A = this chain, B = another copy of it.
Amino acid sequence: MKNESRYERGLAKLREIDGKAGEHVLESLDGIAPDFARYLIEFPFGDIYSRPGLDLKSREIAVVAALTALGNAAPQLKVHIQAALNVGVTRTEIVETIMQMAVYAGFPAALNGLAAAKEVFAQQAEQ
């Protein structure tokens, strides 16, 4: 059935991209909005990230750029800095993407993005 495979495709993609952090996001929805966990799997991951036409590295660069620029979703920015690393974006490429946001969203947005990257890189080094 098509809808089940959409869920399954999304869950596999979520695990590929976000790893453990993705599972934590899903768990955080327990007891408050379990249906939203399903939507999160189905639409962003089952529909969008599963599309051809843009490789996963570029997709994660796009997300890191957007969340740095918006500056109002710190937990998700960290998840996607880790996700970028997971799909093969280098630390240098992440830092360059965030620094470039100084031009489009200002220095505070870039500084806060760089602080998030520093934290994620340090956590990764510990493991």
Contacts and interface: CB of A to CB of B under 8 A. Distances in A.
A15 interface: no
A9 interface: no
Interface string A80-122: 0000000000001101111111111111111110110110010
Interface residues of A, number: 65
Q: 7 closest Cβ contacts across the A-B interface?
A: A73-B108, A62-B65, A54-B96, A71-B72, A66-B69, A76-B108, A2-B3
Interface of A: 1-3, 6, 25, 28-29, 31-33, 35-36, 39-40, 43-44, 47-49, 51, 53-54, 57-59, 61-73, 75-76, 92-93, 95-112, 114-115, 117-118, 121
